[in-house]
Amino acid sequence: MTIRFVESSKLPTPWGMFTMHGFSDDGADKEHLVLTMGDVSNGEPVLARVHSECLTGDALFSMRCDCGPQLQAAMHKIALEGRGVIFYLRQEGRGIGLLNKIRAYHLQDCGADTVEANERLGFGADMRDYSILKPMLEHLNIKSLKLMTNNPRKVKALREMGITVAERISHQTGRNPHNARYLETKRGKLGHLFEEGDDSWTSQEPPDENESDV
């Protein structure tokens, strides 16, 4: 694995001014982004989101998942704190790629859940590789993360690589009738932690049986 820093630039957003850092993964022929705000290299734990690319959710406003709202909520929370980092990793569809994700969506349209669809295509439930984070963290001199995630497996994976996760912060948002089954599958099969009292988890009615899932 060869992760190479390329360049940084300013990125004005509705939530404030971020700095965008570009990294090239020459071995996998992929490009990754890191967004930072404030001084992230002072040694204090940094509010962080490790976000895997989701073209459908992040850019096309899909309601089949909660990815777009999670990305926007992370940018908002970092802006409120004035300091933080978002790792935007090009690992579409939990690592299976965009076209295979569309194939998985078709299987879900036919009744499979998100885990079953990946497995029917011959993939694991989650194919993402977080080892690419280490050189990015080292380049930015980030020592410790306050990680915004509902996924304890992500925390475990980072800690097993020697990355310090000082705190896991619940990051629930974006629940709607189209992704209710998807979120239930995340909790039931992938171990995601959802707090029942959170408004984003309880505010919507469950879908009928024919609603889509991702």
Q: Which of 204, 178, 210 is nearest to 61 (CA)?
A: 178
pLDDT (0 to 100) of residue 54:
93
pTM of the model: 0.84
The answer to whether 67 is a known ligand-binding residue is yes
pLDDT (0 to 100) of residue 173:
73
> Residue 114 maps to which CATH number?
3.40.50.10990
For the chain, residues with pLDDT lower than 50 are 197-214
Query: What's the domain count of the chain?
Result: 1
- For residue 198, the enclosing domain spans 3-202
The answer to whether 110 is a known ligand-binding residue is no
Residue 128 in any domain: the answer is: yes
Strands of the sheet with 30-37, listed across from one edge:
3-13, 16-25, 30-37, 84-89, 46-52, 144-148, 164-169
Catalytic residue numbers?
126, 128
The answer to whether 51 is a known ligand-binding residue is yes
What gap in Å lies between CA 91 and CA 98, rounded to an integer?
9
What gap in Å lies between CA 149 and CA 122, rounded to an integer?
27
The answer to whether 92 is a known ligand-binding residue is yes
